[in-house]
Copies of this chain bind each other. A is one copy, B any other.
Amino acid sequence: MILIGERINGMFNDIKEAIKNKDPEPIKQHAIKQEESGAGYLDVNTGPTVDKENQPAVMEWLIQVAQEVSKLPCCIDTTNLNAIEAGLKVHKGKALINSTTADQAKMDIFLPLAAKYEAGIIGLTMNERGVPKTSADRIALAMELVVNCDMQGIPTDDLFLDPLILPCNVAQEHAPEVLETLQQIKTLSDPAPKSTIGLSNVSQSCVNRNLINRTYLIMAIASGLDSAIVDVYDSSLVEEVAATKILKNEDIYCDSFVKTYIQS
């Protein structure tokens, strides 16, 4: 289970200010602290306030600053093609592109970029008609992503399928459909594609957000989830993820299993 730390994102005020002031310190601090808290990737997102033409330079800077102090690879989180490529050019190690949808036009643009840089890529199970209601329709789009990756020469397990969890207070019926989709993803090919979710979306505008987040994450892991974009500073969540590694028989039990997971 890979935790992708969500914190280097311009939607947070400290990162927004750091970008504005070209101050690398908050970026570095979050890179280090997220790695120490159990992250396996750092999500990097310029946020909504950076102009489109400045996004490539800002993405390049954020990735360079983060990788100066952390060995973690980055999840390059933007829909701006030039920003993705600017990030890929300076990235050390195997990057993860976040994301393409299953629109043919988008797959035709983003997948060749993943192939060129040998990056992983998150594929959202949605297209120009929006997010499907059922797991069956999500799986149909997942299959289009798998086929297109194959045509582009991208190894299937470099594809991270995201079945798109929606807030449970307004689109509650999606939550079990996403769990069902996660189970079925493992049957799509051999080797199977990986899976991911943007966890905090499940609890948007809800009470007890951390409770809902960690409970849904554990349900999703039991359904086969491989990775998620999360708040790794939520120690209750990280501890439960560590416990799933024991309970799925993936890490050998030892009394320090939480520490072992975080440091691995």
Contact = CB atoms under 8 A, between A and B. Distances in A.
Given A169-B253, A253-B168, A176 B247 contact: yes
B172 A249 contact: yes
Interface in A213-234: 214-216, 218-223
Contacts of A247: 168, 175-176, 202, 212, 215-216, 219
A243 B208 contact: yes
A244 interface: yes
A51 B223 CA distance: 45
Contact of A240 (B172, B211, B253): B211
Contacts of A221: 219
Nearest to A207: B255
A212 B247 CA distance: 8
A179 B218 CA distance: 13
A246 interface: yes
A206 interface: yes
A173 interface: yes
Interface string A154-177: 000000000000001100110110
A137 interface: no
The interface centre, meaning the residue of A221, A239, A240, A248 with most chain B CB atoms within 10 A of its CB, is: A240
A131 interface: no
Given A221-B219, A222-B222, A212 B172 contact: no
30 contacts: A168-B246, A169-B253, A172-B249, A172-B252, A175-B246, A175-B247, A175-B248, A175-B249, A176-B248, A179-B222, A202-B247, A206-B253, A206-B255, A207-B255, A208-B239, A208-B243, A208-B257, A211-B243, A215-B218, A215-B240, A215-B244, A215-B247, A216-B243, A216-B247, A218-B218, A218-B240, A219-B221, A219-B244, A219-B247, A222-B222
